[in-house]
A and B are shown apart, each in its own frame.
Chain A
Amino acid sequence: MRSLLIALLAALAIAPGAVAKDPEHIYKTVEAKHFTRVEGVELSPAFSDYLYAELRNELGKTKMFVQVIGEGEAVEDADAASSVVIEGVITEYKKGNRAADAIIGFGAGARSLKIDVNLTRRSDHQSLGAVKSHVKISPRWNEQTMAIAAAHQIAHEVKNGLKEKAKG
């Protein structure tokens, strides 16, 4: 009876963790490319590099991919079918208004960034989904902080999208 109780308690302690655990490493590699910009987007050249680095960082944290490779890195032919390429376009950037942010608040005068992201399979360039990211932050924060928020949001959406796709 006592051993049964211990076994039951152990099962109760372990079960939630086992159920909540994400399916790890569904894809072999993911390649994040530098995001392009449409005309009129006035962000510093360093922003693209930072967003690229931060996105790779965040994609690593999703545990969906065995390896996060750099842009233009070669992939073994055998791994190409289970490899993903992430490309994106920064479609809109609004600097925001510090005065409106300070006087009105509640999101008025916020700095905003819109990014369209496409996921494709490396082997046949088949689309695996699209993500639309819209980030709003206070104009007091710098561009890099906005990149962190955008990368986090994109990685989260990519993870959810690919998980749904894997479930079928």
Chain B
Amino acid sequence: MNFRKILPVCGWLAALSALGGANAVADEPKPTPENTIHVQLAAPVPPQKFAKPVKFFISEVIDRSGNPQPMLVLRDRGGIFLDRQPTEITREAIEQSLKAADLLAADAASADVVLQIYVFHFGLAQGSGFDFFGKVEFSVMVKNLKTEESQQIEAKGTSIANAAMRKKNIQKNVQANIEGALEDAMRNLLRGTQLKEAVASLLKNNSSAPAAAPSGEMASRQVNEDIGKRHKSKVEER
């Protein structure tokens, strides 16, 4: 009897929760051509000059942001989306800059160093509320395939743009802001002392490579020969 009395109340509660859920789904922004922005470098960033001519190759660009929606840059006001994955944009920006300076190798085999990029942040970060704070952050594994040695470096770009009231202006400012942060990160990577030092260190080892470089079977043969020589010299000494 009691159960029958509370049944309509349960019905109302179920209806209300369903309505709330439907509202939440409706609030979730969806990408449309109107709220999607195209982010790219305005012009290639000229890389620094290296002591020796170097060719780079980008092997992989991996998203390590842990963001379930990496293309959603702003949730408010119907949302703002990127038209491509941040990894794709980052790869394009680096390749564009390296290609313009003739530092991009066609494949990994012909490259002096191979770059593996880990994107940690791409888009907007928490700002003061009066502006948009754009941040692009990634780390790069610089690897010499011949010596199998590698070094990790970091690059970070930031940009601050004014907030806006109109949706159209918000979209314009956010786009300019992320492009600014991307350009800053590219400068930080390609004109940074970290890359210069990493390349110098990795290629220095490469120049003395014939003795140091062999890997696998060649390396073990070399080691065995060395041990043999040492053994012989000890025997001779005796």
Contacts and interface: CB of A to CB of B under 8 A. Distances in A.
Do A and B originate from a single complex? yes
B188 interface: yes
Per DSSP, chain B at the interface is mixed
B196 A144 contact: no
A137 B189 CA distance: 36
B184 A142 contact: no
Interface residues of A, number: 19
Nearest to A52: B158
B192 A46 contact: no
Interface string A41-62: 0000010011011101100000
B128 interface: yes
Q: Looking at B127, B135, B157, B196, which has the most chain A CB atoms within 10 Å of its CB? A: B127
Interface in B92-143: 125-130, 133, 135
B48 A74 contact: yes
B188 A70 contact: yes
B159 interface: yes
Given A50-B125, A148-B130, 19 more contacts: A46-B125, A49-B125, A49-B135, A49-B156, A49-B158, A50-B128, A53-B158, A57-B160, A69-B187, A71-B188, A72-B188, A72-B193, A73-B187, A73-B191, A74-B193, A142-B129, A144-B126, A144-B128, A144-B133
Interface of B: 48, 125-130, 133, 135, 156-160, 184, 187-188, 191-194, 196
